[in-house]
Each structure stands twice: as C-alpha cells, then as structure tokens.
C-alpha cells in the first residue's frame, strides 16, 4: 500500500544542534499513527514540518504525494491541525465557530452548514450547536477544537499531545472521538509522551529519542522484538549494576536497573535458576520476583539503551 504521509531523510538543525536527524518514515492511509517519545525527542518539530509551520534543514516530507514545502497551499487544504490550546472563539457558538473556520478555507456557506451538521452529529455536539463555546463542558471543548480542524474534510488529522492536561476520563473520551474520526476514513497522526495512550489508541507507533527513530511498528511486534517476558527481581544488598553485566552475559537477555530492582527481559528460553545462581554467587538475597509482559517502556529502554525520562 502507498503511504499517505512520507518523511524522507528529514533533518532539522538549530545552529549546531540537530533536533531531527535523518528521519525516514511512511504512514499508511487510514491508520492512527502515534509518535511517542520523551520530552525534547523532536515530535513537535516533526509534525510542524509536516503541517508547513517549519521547514526542514534537509530532506522532504509529502502528504498524498504533495511536497510540504513546494506545495504548501495544497497540503494545507488536505490536513487538519488540532493545536494544544483551543483554537475556537469562546464568545461564539459552536455553529458560529465552524462557520468562521469554514470561511477561512473559503468553503461556501451551504457546504459549511452541511458539513457542520455531519461533524457535530459525529462528535456528539449536535444538541449544543447554538451554545456559546465558553459555556461548554471541558470534554465538549476538546471535541469542538477537533471539529474546527475537520470542517474542510481533511484527509489527515494531526494532533500534538492532544491529551496533555486531561483527566483520565476525558482522555478516554478523547480517544473515542479520535477513533470515530478515524472510522470515517481520516488518517490520524498524533504525538504523545504517554505510553498507555500510544499502546491503547494507536495502530502503529514510532518511538523517537533525541531526534532519531528508535523503533517503528505495531506495538505487539515491537514488544515481541524486545522479548515477551519481563521479570523484576529485588535483592539485598541490591548491587544491581554488578548483577546486570553478569546476568546479561548469560545470553538472550537484556537488563536494566533502577532502585526498584533488576529488570530482566528474556528474549528466548532461559532457565530461571541460571539467573538466580548469579544472584547467589554475589551473595545477593532475593526478596521478590515479579513477572509481567513487556511494556512500551521496556521497548524504549531496551531499544534506545536509555531510561525513559
Ligand atoms: N526554535 C527552536 N530553536 C532551538 N531549539 C529548538 C527550537 N524548537 C525546538 N527546539 C529544541 O528541539 C528539541 C526537540 O523539541 P520538540 O520537537 O519540541 O520535542 P518534543 O515535542 O518531542 O518534546 C528540544 O531540545 C527543543 O529544545
Ligand atoms: Mg512537543
């Protein structure tokens, strides 16, 4: 399948500082794609380039085959961007806001009316169409912010950290709205630093760190690549940095440690007693052993070699 979004060797520098370093990525039409990474990874910079708000230092980005630099006008007509801050006017009603945003795209009033009707039904705002925006609930405001970005029927909807500042219930409601929009055929590209959001909402994810791609794929594939079983062992006195090296030398294992203990990801068959022997030989008394399936955090740590910060 042809990708609808393509980044080809995108680099962005500010002076000597490379914020993005040779990012190449294709995103298939119809997906909910998540750019996941810690703060400062370069997520916002990447989507600013895609939405024509910033130019790459080198490389190209395309949406539906259109170059974001040379075909800027056409690109802006097929993308919707949901900013972090609400973009609508508080003192206007929902309908008036959509009318305003529609007019920015030079859509005919009759079309705006039809389109508004459909979007408001889709986002469950239809009963509030004549309510002033500042009288809406928090969840409704979030949906109105998205509605404003949909008025011109974009092929791609881009959201930068859409759930920052939302409580868990509103966050789930936002995910539901994003799924509804996606079900209508809109490709979704969003950034997030919430692992859970990337895991539960997105079809595929790209993990970034320090301007570079760490790993890309479906969440289950990424977890499988890293290893399917994770065990956390706490011991006393807990010299985990020493244990890490020794356990890793057993092979088919990668480890990381924190104050919580030694996290071990098994990538193949491993006899647990071999691991316990290492602890014993260092006179480490095992206190607890917990096992779980790998998380995206484990994927990040083991693919980037760094802690998620
Ligand atoms: N206009 C700018 N000038 C200099 N540095 C910038 C600018 N914009 C972003 N950066 C730096 O680029 C890095 C990536 O930023 P950003 O794309 O906002 O990351 P993220 O969205 O993943 O948190 C950060 O270290 C940030 O300080
Ligand atoms: Mg950001």
123-142 pLDDT, tens digit per residue, is 999 999 999 999 999 999 99
Residues 187-234: tens digit of each pLDDT: 999 999 999 999 999 999 999 999 999 999 999 999 988 777 889 999
Q: Are β-strands 187-192 and 156-160 bridged in parallel, bridged antiparallel, or unpaired?
A: parallel
Query: Would the pLDDT of 267 be above 80?
Result: no
Dihedral in degrees, nearest 10, Cα atoms 198, 203, 209, 210: -110
Q: Report whether residue 37 contacts ligand 1, using a CB cutoff of 6 Å.
A: yes
Query: Would the pLDDT of 304 be above 80?
Result: yes
Q: pTM for the whole thing? A: 0.86
User: What's the CA-to-centroid distance between 45 and ligand 1, angstroms?
Assistant: 6
The model's confidence at residue 306, banded by pLDDT at 50, 70 and 90, is confident
Among 220, 162, 213, smallest CA distance to 189 is for 162
Which residues are CB-contacts of 309 (< 8 A; sequence separation ≥ 6)?
38
Q: Residue 13 burial by CB count (10 A; 0-12/13-18/19+): exposed, middle or buried? A: middle
The model's confidence at residue 182, banded by pLDDT at 50, 70 and 90, is very high
Q: Report whether residue 16 contacts ligand 1, using a CB cutoff of 6 Å.
A: no
Query: Would the pLDDT of 63 be above 90?
Result: yes
Is 223 or 61 the better-scoring residue by pLDDT?
Answer: 61
Nearest CA to ligand 1 atom 11: 19
| Class of the CATH domain delimited by 3-218 | alpha beta
Predicted pLDDT of residue 243:
95
CATH number of 228-293: 3.30.70.260
Q: Residue ranges of the domains in the chain?
A: 3-218, 228-293
Predicted pLDDT of residue 307:
82
Q: Report whether residue 95 contacts ligand 1, using a CB cutoff of 6 Å.
A: no
Is 235 or 297 the better-scoring residue by pLDDT?
Answer: 235
Residues 136-171: tens digit of each pLDDT: 999 999 999 999 999 999 999 999 999 998 889 889
Q: Report whether residue 41 contacts ligand 1, using a CB cutoff of 6 Å.
A: yes
């Amino acid at each position: 399948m042809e990708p609808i979004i393509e980044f080809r060797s995108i680099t962005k520098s500010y002076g000597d500082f490379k914020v993005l370093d040779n990012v190449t990525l294709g995103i298939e039409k119809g997906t909910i794609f998540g750019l996941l990474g810690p703060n400062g990874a370069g997520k916002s910079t990447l989507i600013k380039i895609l939405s024509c708000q910033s130019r790459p230092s080198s490389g190209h980005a395309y949406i539906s085959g259109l170059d974001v630099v040379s075909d800027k006008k056409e690109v802006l007509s097929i993308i919707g961007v949901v900013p972090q801050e609400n973009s609508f006017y508080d003192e206007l009603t929902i309908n008036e806001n959509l009318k305003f945003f529609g007019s920015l795209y030079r859509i005919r009033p009759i079309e705006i009316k039809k389109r508004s009707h459909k979007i408001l039904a889709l986002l469950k705002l239809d009963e509030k169409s004549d309510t002033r925006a500042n009288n809406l609930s928090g969840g409704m405001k979030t949906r109105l912010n998205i509605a404003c970005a949909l008025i011109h029927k974009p092929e791609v909807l881009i959201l930068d950290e859409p759930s920052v500042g939302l409580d868990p219930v509103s966050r789930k409601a936002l995910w539901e709205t994003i799924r509804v929009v996606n079900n209508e055929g809109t490709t979704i590209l969003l950034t997030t630093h919430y692992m859970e959001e990337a895991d539960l909402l997105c079809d595929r994810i790209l993990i970034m760190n320090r301007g570079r791609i760490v790993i890309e794929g479906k969440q289950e594939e990424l977890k499988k690549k890293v290893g399917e079983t994770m065990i956390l062992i706490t011991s006393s006195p807990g010299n985990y940095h020493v244990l890490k090296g020794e356990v890793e030398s057993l092979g088919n294992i990668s480890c990381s440690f924190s104050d919580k203990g030694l996290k071990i990801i098994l990538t193949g068959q491993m006899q647990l007693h071999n691991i316990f022997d290492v602890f014993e030989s260092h006179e480490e008394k095992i206190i607890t052993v917990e096992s779980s399936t790998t998380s995206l955090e484990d994927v990040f740590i083991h693919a980037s070699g760094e802690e998620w910060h």
